[in-house]
Structure 1
């Protein structure tokens, strides 16, 4: 497992960049006919969506602090 630290602004920027990339990957998935590439994209999208969910949970915890 790999760990690295981001400050809150970096985490929000990373969330934005990841969300934008996922939109592009989903669009690419719709338009590709290559079966192997489609499977690669599906797996990569699932992994990145998991990262995005974790990042969202972390950011939600930061905003709920007193």
Structure 2
């Protein structure tokens, strides 16, 4: 999976862009301003990290950065 990381990210990013555009059209406006700080990672980056974590057999997310 790590060999195909860029390819997986591109596929996930394409999906997220198409999905979010459609999803935003179904949401209702609440009138309240968004709270809290903005996320440092995009939704597609988070999904890609989770896919790599679960498919790679890593027990903890911090172990993803270490190669053995």
TM-score range, shorter chain: 0.3 to 0.5
Greater helix share, structure number: 1
Please identify the structure whose Cα radius of gyration is greater: 2
